[in-house]
Structure 1
Amino acid sequence: MSVPAADAAGRTKLGFGNLLTNDIVDGAADRWRTGSYASSRVWGPTWTGAAPSGFGDLLELRFNGEIITPENLRFPAPGDRHYAGALSLGLHTHMQRGAMEYAIGGDLVFVGPQTGLDSFQTELHDLLNVSEPSDRVLDAQIGNAIRPTLVVEMGRPIRMGAQSTLRPFVEGRAGVETLARVGFDWTFGSLGQGELLVRDPVAGQRYRVITQDWTGYSFTVGADFAYVDSSVFLPDDQGPALDNTRERVRVGVMWQGESGLSSFAGITYLGEEFEGQDEGQFVGSIKVRLGF
């Protein structure tokens, strides 16, 4: 990637990345963590293959949107989770000090009908001629709230060979969901090395934001385990009780061609999130970037 010189303010746009996640791979109708979209734009003075050491030198503007539903959009079973929509906008900084990588920032998360995501899903399903959320489901959805959320991730890439990197990490979130997480990502292949990757909050897949001129494939495997203290999406006074443990297991493949066209596809298993949820679910994530 050719990075332009910094502007007079000392920053220039260094990259953009996004990821779309949906439960369509699960073989069932929309349910639970049914759909989300993550998007990141990054500014900084330059990119040399690693984040700078200074706090605030490299800034990421992060946008996320998510729809959560009960298993049945028309007639939810007693004890199923309630419908919820969430939109967030945040500012994060990325740093590297020694062998450690840090991502620290905050998001302002808007929850409930105020997001308009219930209307968006209804209109989209009407257009696709599939079942829409019933009035019963929407009337019982999680109410309006605005939750500031702090997010901190620390990871350490460990080279396991010329074409293999293991990256254990820990993460903490406090706000719309308050949790502590530990896990790893293992990448096989050179694509992704010397680049900035950002973690999608739902699937845990990492998507490329600052890229290099690699060509070829890389494969990723990852897993993590979280202790969840609280969640706006599973409140104590509405719906089923929160399950305090949460697991994710994921695989993915990145590809980039000579023309700059690139893509990512991944599948993630999400473990149970609430008491009474009888199984986990699979979600698929995809990103396509055109070469112009």
Structure 2
Amino acid sequence: MNSLRTLMATVMLLAVTGGASADGNRSLGWGSLFTNDAIGDNKDRWRSASLVVSHLRGTEWSGQRPDSFGALIEYRFRAEMITPVNVAAPRASDRLYVGALSVGAHTHFQKGATEMSLGLDLVFVGPQTKIDQLQDELHGVFASSSVNVDGFQVANAVYPTVTFEAGREFALGGAGRVRPFVELQAGAETLARVGADVTFGGFGTGALLLRDSTTGLLYTGIQGDRPTGLSFIMGGDVAYVADSKYLDTPGIAAKDMRARFRAGVHQQFQRAALFYGATYLSEEYESQPEGQIVGALSVNIQF
């Protein structure tokens, strides 16, 4: 427990200082990814929608992660809507609504050929986030059902969440690459995950790629070589889940194993890029009748 407190304090210090110990600290890039099941299986339920925005700061980007812990910092903002099947009239047997907002800092570094990241996010959940009200307004714009989850949300709380990932990339021949990885997370959800990502094409060449926590899809944080053309991305992972504050509800039995399988296409133009991906998410609790498919979009335009 003392080591966990020390780890949290270290990463929080990085968030406050912005890597100020490094001379010439500057902005190196922005990245974002939007996910929604409406552009996946077209059903408004469970892992319904999310948006992550990342800002990267450091002294320079040479095409690979620095070997110094704290030299490259990602500031991450994330919002997510996790819903019961029916947000207008939730069933008592369904999972509670989760509106989650998180802010955090992650450092990305490299030891030998092994790429690593370590970060701390403060995850705010419950009615205090007003995410349910935002979703209700969005549903009004798109003439969808109203969101009525008063009394059917997880309680207000803040969960410090630590995430560590380590991975290594291997060439497959030609333009193919595979990157197996492991991930450990403790906080809002406590789990251990192992998986791999496979890329065919120039996507991610010389870039810093970041991982979306819901789908596992990779998105660009710092632009690299940007070779024009079409790339194909595939991946998958399995996780052992020790605890989930999102499913800590009487009558809901969380599954201790989860799986994700994902695929996407990335088109790089001369001054713009477009990515679409889809991820299958397996059931998260025993009474969940089936898995779901969540779509994801990312657009990058250079001015």
TM-score between both structures, scaled by the size of structure 1: 0.93
TM-aligned CA deviation for residue 78 of structure 1: 4.2
Q: Distance in 2 between matches of 1:78 and 1:141?
A: 11
The residue number in structure 2 matching 1:196 is: 208
- The alignment status of 1:97 with 2:108, answered yes or no, reads no
Q: Distance in 2 between matches of 1:280 and 1:77?
A: 18
Q: Distance in 2 between matches of 1:210 and 1:162?
A: 24
- The alignment status of 1:61 with 2:79, answered yes or no, reads no
Structure 1 unpaired stretches of 5+: 1-5
TM-aligned CA deviation for residue 10 of structure 1: 2.1
Q: Distance in 1 between matches of 2:251 and 2:25?
A: 46
The residue number in structure 1 matching 2:52 is: 38
Say if 1:290 and 1:149 are closer, same or farther in 2 by CA, change over 3 A: same
Letter in 1 for 2:159: R
Letter in 2 for 1:45: T
Asked whether the equivalents of residues 19 and 285 of structure 1 are also in contact (C-alpha less than 8 Å), the reply is yes
Q: Which moved more, 1:262-271 or 1:208-217?
A: 208-217
The residue number in structure 2 matching 1:233 is: 246
The residue number in structure 2 matching 1:217 is: 230
The residue number in structure 2 matching 1:288 is: 299
Asked whether the equivalents of residues 164 and 186 of structure 1 are also in contact (C-alpha less than 8 Å), the reply is yes
TM-aligned CA deviation for residue 219 of structure 1: 0.8
- Runs of 4+ residues over 6 Å off in structure 1: none
The residue number in structure 2 matching 1:110 is: 124
Asked whether the equivalents of residues 157 and 166 of structure 1 are also in contact (C-alpha less than 8 Å), the reply is yes
TM-aligned CA deviation for residue 123 of structure 1: 1.2
Asked whether the equivalents of residues 82 and 239 of structure 1 are also in contact (C-alpha less than 8 Å), the reply is no
RMSD: 1.5
Letter in 2 for 1:138: D
- The alignment status of 1:184 with 2:183, answered yes or no, reads no
TM-aligned CA deviation for residue 107 of structure 1: 0.4
Q: Distance in 1 between matches of 2:236 and 2:142?
A: 34
Say if 1:238 and 1:17 are closer, same or farther in 2 by CA, change over 3 A: same
- For residues 127-175 of structure 1, give each alpha carbon's deviation from its aligned partner in whole angstroms, at most 9, with x where no partner exists: 22110122xx331111100010000000010111130110000001100
Aligned residues: 282
Q: Distance in 2 between matches of 1:256 and 1:215?
A: 5
Q: Distance in 1 between matches of 2:43 and 2:88?
A: 11
The residue number in structure 1 matching 2:141 is: 127
Q: Which moved more, 1:222-231 or 1:21-30?
A: 21-30
Q: Distance in 1 between matches of 2:89 and 2:131?
A: 19
Where do residues 14-29 of structure 1 align in structure 2 (5 Å cutoff)? 14-29=28-43
Percent identity between the two aligned chains: 48
TM-score between both structures, scaled by the size of structure 2: 0.90
TM-aligned CA deviation for residue 76 of structure 1: 2.8
Letter in 2 for 1:261: A
Letter in 2 for 1:205: L
Match of 1:130, SS? Answer: coil
Match of 2:246, SS? Answer: coil
Q: Distance in 2 between matches of 1:59 and 1:133?
A: 37
Say if 1:200 and 1:132 are closer, same or farther in 2 by CA, change over 3 A: same
